Amino acid sequence: MARQTGELHDPGGMREASERRSDVLLRSVVQYCRVGLEPQGFALDGRGGSEGRGWVRFSRPGCDARGHGGTLVLLVAHGQPERALLFDAYFVDGALDVHTPHARLLQWYDGDADLPRLVRQAVDHVCRWAS
C-alpha cells in the first residue's frame, strides 16, 4: 500500500524513524536539491513511497508565462529496484489546479558517483525556469 503525505512531521508520533531513512540514496538527493533550491524559495513540502520506491516534492509560489499565480513544483522520485531517478518539474495553476508540465528527466544510474551531476543538472534547470 502506498503512503502519501503532504506533511513533513508525524502529528501522532507513530512513524518509525527507520521508515523515513530506508532510502538513503533519496535522502542524499534531497540534500543535494536543498542546496540549490532553497535559496530560490523552494521548500520540501511532501514525501511518500512504498516498496522500494520513494518521492519528495519541493514547491514555491510563482507565476506561469502568462502571469497567472500558482505553484512551481519539482517532484523527485527514486526507484531502488530500477536504479532510476525521475525529476519532474511542473506548474500548478492556483485558480484551476491545472498541472502544466515543464521538464522531465528520467535517469538510470550505475553508482552514487553519478548523483551529484544528475541532481545539479535537474536543479539548475528548475532554477533557470523559476527565475
pLDDT tens digits, residue range 80-124? 999 899 999 999 999 999 999 998 989 888 776 677 777 888 888
Identify the residue whose cell numbers are 512513524: 15
Kindly report the backbone phi and psi dihedral angles of residue 63, in degrees, each rounded to the nearest multiple of 5, phi listed first: -130, 150
- pLDDT value of position 3: 41
Query: What HEC string does the chain produce?
Result: CCEEECCCCCCCCCCCHHHHHCCHHHHHHHHHHHHHHHHHCCEEEEEEEECCEEEEEEEEEEECCCCCEEEEEEEEEEECCCCEEEEEEEEEECCCCCEEEEEEEEEECCCHHHHHHHHHHHHHHHHHHHC
- pLDDT value of position 58: 97
Q: In terms of pLDDT, which residue wins out, 127 or 57? A: 57
pTM of the model: 0.78
d(Cα 99, Cα 64) in Å, to the nearest integer?
11
d(Cα 76, Cα 56) in Å, to the nearest integer?
5
Enter the C-alpha cell of residue 80: 531502488
Checking if the pLDDT of 76 tops 90, the result is yes
Domain boundaries, the chain: 24-130
